[in-house]
Amino acid sequence: MHIRGDHAELVVGGRLDVRNAADARTVLHSALDAGRGDLVLDLTELDSWDATGLGVIMGAHRRAGRTGRRLVLRGVPDRMQRVLVATRLHRILAIEDPEQPGRVTPLPACERAG
């Protein structure tokens, strides 16, 4: 797994799983504590995540709320979008609309039905 960026936007790549969850959590929390406004988490380079990785993202979402910020997911791969829909987390998390960058909307209806 690799994470690069700053307190406004982070790009996550590789696998986000139990082996690197603690490192990812530390980076996300530091970025949230250091900045203001939305923290965009770009997942276009993310290969996979497990339940622990998803837990890291949910923890960052909660911490963002406590710090007066919002965590926005960008470029969520299709297979991971399906996990968010299956767990109904797509209703909680802010996900950037791939058709209109900068606009945060729920996942498209066709993906919610899948």
All structural domains of the chain with their residue ranges: 2-113
Closest CA to 49 of 26, 23, 17, 22: 17
Write down the pLDDT at residue 108: 47
Write down the pLDDT at residue 27: 96
Could you tell me the mean pLDDT of each successive run of 10 residues in the chain, 114 residues long?
A: 88 96 96 94 95 96 94 93 92 85 59 41
Neighbours of 72 (CB within 10 A): 20
Distance separating alpha carbons of residues 6 and 113, to the nearest angstrom: 35
The CATH H-level (homologous superfamily) assignment of domain 2-113 is: STAS domain (3.30.750.24)
Write down the pLDDT at residue 102: 72
Write down the pLDDT at residue 112: 40
Global pTM value: 0.85
Q: Is 83 exposed, middle or buried (0-12, 13-18, 19+ CB in 10 A)?
A: middle
Specify the length of the chain in residues: 114
Write down the pLDDT at residue 73: 96
Write down the pLDDT at residue 17: 95
Write down the pLDDT at residue 109: 41
Write down the pLDDT at residue 113: 39
